[in-house]
Amino acid sequence: MPSYDQINTVPGWFTFQSFCVWRAFLEEQATITGDLFEIGVWKGRSASMLAGYRKGDEKLILCDRGLDEREICESIRRTGTEPQNLVFIEAFSIDLPARLDLKAMHHTVRWCHIDGEHTGTAVYREMELANQIVSPNGLLVIDDFFSPRYPANTTEVIRYLEKNPHHFRLVAVAFNKAYLCRPESVPRYMDFLAAGMARSMRRYGWKATIFKTTGPWDMDAVGIEEFVDAAGIQVGPDDNPQYWHMIQQRHIWSPWLHVSRFLKRTLRR
């Protein structure tokens, strides 16, 4: 799989933190098959990573209003992956439903990354398109979520979720990207976020803190930030930080938590 040093040779804004989050999620999808789809490609920085995780006969479908196919293929080669099964579609996202065979693509995409026009109308339309193509176990990733430069990327995602609660659920927010899955896949991805995400990212050389500050009655999503020493690797609600609330109350294992409890018990004696 491509390293971040290899990815970093391709121009673009795909950060090391997003590289680690993507790698963890893509490796969690090892047993899932399906195509990979991206709106907004530019030089192919994030597409190069997706190319490294394409398996077997899966296709990597790259859509942009302007595509330099040769340059993107060269970017992928620079990251140590041979560009195979690539589909290039040069079009604005508003025209994609007419350019794609949506009947053949129905729920066949396991990874959909939207980094396109960054207007509210475009984001909402792109989510409507994603609903047609993302598989039951797939992930939808929205760029520039919570970005002050593009507030419509946040407002329209929330508007879409409120209007279509059975299409997608927000499961994670990390470094200006929103990660959404189908409602039926929430337990799968929440279990991974609780038990495997932090460990996976540490293997890639990055330590983060995962915040789960409320329960499923309110929101399932977690937040991922740079490591906060006072919080640790995983932290629950502000009033009960040692517990992770999701489908059921989940105990957060933390070496420091166990040490601190031991010291407290010792000092009370």
The predicted structure's pLDDT at residue 231:
84
The percentage of residues in the chain with a pLDDT greater than 90, rounded to a whole number, is: 74
Judge whether residue 154 has pLDDT over 50.
Answer: yes
Residue closest to 26 by CA, chosen among 212, 226, 201, 227:
201
Q: What contacts 146, CB < 8 A, 6 or more positions away?
A: 154, 173, 176, 178
| SS3 assignment, position 136 | strand
Local confidence band at 255 (pLDDT 50, 70, 90 cut-offs):
very low
The predicted structure's pLDDT at residue 230:
83
For 44-64, the pLDDT digits (tens) are 999 999 999 999 999 999 999
The predicted structure's pLDDT at residue 263:
57
Q: Which residue has the tokens 């509210």?
A: 120
| Range 124-142 average pLDDT | 98
The predicted structure's pLDDT at residue 267:
62
Amino acid sitting at position 200: S
The predicted structure's pLDDT at residue 266:
62
Judge whether residue 106 has pLDDT over 90.
Answer: yes
For 57-83, the pLDDT digits (tens) are 999 999 999 999 999 999 999 999 999
The predicted structure's pLDDT at residue 257:
47
Please report the sign of the dihedral spanned by the C-alpha atoms of residue 50, residue 177, residue 135, residue 41.
negative
* pTM, entire model: 0.90
Question: Does CATH place domain 4-195 in 3.40.50.2300?
Answer: no
Q: Where are the beta strands (DSSP E) in the chain?
A: 35-39, 60-64, 86-90, 109-114, 134-143, 169-174, 177-181, 208-211, 222-226, 234-235, 243-245, 249-251
Amino acid sitting at position 241: P
Judge whether residue 149 has pLDDT over 90.
Answer: yes
Residue closest to 40 by CA, chosen among 62, 14, 18:
62
Distance CA 114, CA 41 (A): 9
Amino acid sitting at position 183: P
Q: Which of 150-159, 190-199, 206-215, 245-254 has the highest mean pLDDT?
A: 150-159
The predicted structure's pLDDT at residue 229:
87
| Range 180-184 average pLDDT | 97
Q: Using N-to-C axis directions, what is the helix angle for 69-78 and 45-52, rounded to 10°?
A: 60
Local confidence band at 148 (pLDDT 50, 70, 90 cut-offs):
very high
For 199-253, the pLDDT digits (tens) are 888 888 888 999 999 888 888 899 999 998 888 888 888 888 888 776 444 555 4
Q: What contacts 212, CB < 8 A, 6 or more positions away?
A: 193, 194, 222, 234, 235, 236, 237, 244, 245, 246
Q: What contacts 138, CB < 8 A, 6 or more positions away?
A: 32, 34, 107, 109, 110, 111, 112, 181, 182, 185
Token pair in block for residue 164: 């279509």
Token pair in block for residue 118: 């960054």
Distance CA 63, CA 89 (A): 5
Residue closest to 183 by CA, chosen among 247, 237, 123:
247
Judge whether residue 6 has pLDDT over 70.
Answer: yes
Rg (CA), the chain: 19
**Cα–Cα distance list, 155 to 150, 151, 224 (Å):** 9, 6, 20
197 vs 161 pLDDT, higher one: 161
Local confidence band at 256 (pLDDT 50, 70, 90 cut-offs):
very low
Strand 134-143 to 177-181 pairing: antiparallel
Domain limits of the chain?
A: 4-195, 211-268
Query: How many Cβ atoms sit within 10 Å of the Cβ of residue 113?
Result: 25
